[in-house]
Amino acid sequence: MKYDQNRQAVKKWNEEKDLDRWEKHYSEDNYNGNRLRRREEKVLEYLDSLKLPQGADVLELGYGAGMTSAKIYARGYNLVGIDISNKLRDIAVKNCQKATTINAGGNYEFLIGNAERLDFPDNHFDCVVGLGFLQYLQFPEACFKEVKRVLKPNAHFILAQRNIYGVSSVDGPLKWIRSLFYLTTGRRYELRWQDTPLFYIPYLSSAVLSPASSKAKLYQESLRQHKRIGLVRKNAWSFGRLRRLFQQGQLDIVRYDGAGYLTKKRALFPALAQKIDALLQSASDDKRIPGIHKLGNSVVFLAQKR
């Protein structure tokens, strides 16, 4: 059977256990927490810069656990979210129910659907927002075409995606080799050990060395889940690839930034890693170092419909 990326993504996000862990990630003092908070801060900064009126219509693609959704809704906007997971929809609703609204008048609605085929009329939304969803789409170009269609004239699209050339993706010799492979082959999908037989090595070694440990149990559950769901490829995105996608979609890039510069090796020198992250983020925000945005763990774009 031909591999269907969308079908596998739907399977993953509807069968995977403990999806509520994604809301916990935002408060964690680690790489994952830093990456998610940094990109969200930048997206909300872009959104606030648009100065949309109260009751503006905002579409969020891939709302996930609804952590950013709650903050958009709290600004008094009419938020509609599209995602592929029934389980995540329930979590997103719960998080919006807990949100403290800054301005009255907004509302929210979370739907199940496909970002490549949006069931909305032309020229409908004042802004479209998407954080970390594009890697799961089979045809990202179709999504951009749909985004342009549903945006009102001169309205904006804000996109944040993990960067395959970010600091955390080049902080070791094996990662440099992987990055060189990306550069020389133009590979479409991320190269991950989870997608290879290497996946079995940590599982087997942990089971032998510490069969009763929590880490062994975690690997065992990951293996069972991997077997049940199957391969879920993720599109590999960099600043350059995303910029070309905006150009192909005829959306004019207004602004872009890197978001998050924390290394995954932070445990070795946590205080130093945090300082470097803050310095590089400041340099990226102020454009003091040319090209530093291309090394952010996420890259964030603000674009406008022509």
Domain definitions of the chain by residue range: 5-168+233-305, 170-229
What would the mean pLDDT of 25-36 be, rounded to a whole number? 90
Strands 298-305 and 57-61: unpaired
Q: Which residue has better confidence, 9 or 20?
A: 9
Does residue 141 contact residue 116 with C-beta atoms inside 8 Å? no
Say what the pLDDT of residue 1 is: 67
Residue 292 has pLDDT above 80, yes or no: yes
Residue 214 has pLDDT above 80, yes or no: no
Say what the pLDDT of residue 80 is: 98
For the stretch 165-175, pLDDT in tens is 999 999 989 89
Q: pTM score, two decimals?
A: 0.91
Q: Which CATH number fits domain 5-168+233-305: 3.40.50.150, 3.40.50.261, 3.40.50.300, 3.40.50.720?
A: 3.40.50.150
Residue 300 has pLDDT above 70, yes or no: yes
Percent of the chain with pLDDT over 90: 68
Q: Of 184-193, 194-203, 249-258, 262-271, give the lowest mean pLDDT range.
A: 194-203
Does residue 138 contact residue 4 with C-beta atoms inside 8 Å? yes
What would the mean pLDDT of 212-235 be, rounded to a whole number? 73
Residue 200 has pLDDT above 70, yes or no: no
Residues 6+ apart with CB under 8 A from 163: 169, 237, 238, 239, 258, 294, 295, 296, 297, 298, 299
In 16-113, where does DSSP find H-type helix?
21-25, 31-49, 67-74, 86-97
Mean pLDDT over the full length of the chain: 90
Say what the pLDDT of residue 219 is: 64
Residue 47 has pLDDT above 90, yes or no: yes
pLDDT interval class at 245 (50, 70, 90):
very high
Say what the pLDDT of residue 181 is: 92
